[in-house]
Amino acid sequence: PPLYVVTPTYRRPEQLAELTRMAQTLLLVRHVRWLVIEDAREPAADVARLLRQSGLPHEHLTAAMPEQYRKRRGAKPKGVAQRNRGLQWLRANASEGVFYFADDDNTYDVAIFEEIRTTRRVSMFPVGLCTKLGLSTPVVSSRGTFVGFYDGWVGGRKFPVDMAGFAVSVKFLHERPKAQMPFAPGFEEDGFLRSLAPFEPKEVELKADNCTKVLVWHTQTKINGASQPLDMKKFNDTNLPILKK
């Protein structure tokens, strides 16, 4: 059965670099289908080309962040509309397998995809470089039993985990027809996992050798301050981008 990798993405100078890196990671994974969902009303031609040229089985979808959240100052519910679009696609098109919310800027060891493939309901595992503690993970006793969660920000959450720290089986999703992600910055993961009720933290399937290995990192790409030379006219009819007018 396939592994569905659900990736929200949005327009910025770093986008094609992130998607290239991620595509080339996923090329090392068998039986994978990549759901790339743009925060946009229309799909971008260069994203479509990248996906096509990657040769990966994929779906190119769109779901724009609703205007009321986009206009908001401060924290925004990033990627939520798109992950819910991904859930909608899975409900309509998938019957088995496992899905994983994989942001476009994280770093993935290909081993994580093999780990989560056997998820029966909900699996969890450590995420490195996450919050100021540098790690977000289920806490597991030396006997291999679930004890709780370790995360730099608990915030009253029942599931204080990162988006990249869990995977869910498609069958389990079908049994939870109302499950979805809330537009609540900071509480997206917790809100989604709570919406899978009845489901308790102690029922989590522990992956990555009982959560002793980091196989995914919450890396963040530095924003590159792109600049343009002042006089572009002399570069007319060259490969360089020319300022119009």
* By CB under 6 A, residue 105 contacts ligand UGA: yes
Task: Of 197, 202, 189, give the one whose Cα is nearest residue 148.
Answer: 202
Distance CA 168, CA 171 (A): 9
Question: Among ligand UGA, Mn ion, none, what does residue 117 contact (CB within 5–8 Å per kind)?
Answer: none
Complex with ligand UGA: residue 39 or 205, whichever CB lies closer: 39
Query: HSE on the CB side for 85, CA within 13 Å?
Result: 23
Question: Among Mn ion, ligand UGA, none, what does residue 33 contact (CB within 5–8 Å per kind)?
Answer: none
Q: Which residues pair with 137 in a beta bridge?
A: 150
**Crossing angle for the helix pair 15-26 and 45-54, to the nearest 10 degrees:** 20
Instruction: State the catalytic residue, choosing from 59, 189, 203, 205.
Output: 189
Question: Among Mn ion, ligand UGA, none, what does residue 78 contact (CB within 5–8 Å per kind)?
Answer: ligand UGA
Q: Binding ligand UGA by CB under 6 A: which of 151, 162, 190, 205?
A: 162
Contacts to Mn ion by CB under 5 A: 103, 105
Q: Binding ligand UGA by CB under 6 A: which of 5, 23, 50, 82?
A: 82
Q: Which residue is nearest to Mn ion (CB)?
A: 105
165 three-state secondary structure: helix
Complex with Mn ion: residue 184 or 232, whichever CB lies closer: 184
Distance CA 56, CA 4 (A): 12
* By CB under 6 A, residue 9 contacts ligand UGA: yes
* By CB under 6 A, residue 104 contacts ligand UGA: yes
Complex with ligand UGA: residue 70 or 120, whichever CB lies closer: 70
Whether the CB-CB separation of 222 and 12 falls below 8 Å is answered with: no
Question: Among Mn ion, ligand UGA, none, what does residue 115 contact (CB within 5–8 Å per kind)?
Answer: none
Q: Is 189 a catalytic residue?
A: yes
Complex with Mn ion: residue 164 or 193, whichever CB lies closer: 164
Distance CA 6, CA 106 (A): 13
* By CB under 6 A, residue 163 contacts ligand UGA: yes
Tokens of 153: 């920000």
Strands 166-169 and 122-124: antiparallel
- How many residues are listed for the chain in this entry? 245
Query: HSE on the CB side for 215, CA within 13 Å?
Result: 21
Residues in contact with ligand UGA by the rule CB under 6 A: 8-10, 39, 65, 78-79, 82, 103-105, 162-163, 188, 218, 220
Q: Which residues are catalytic?
A: 189
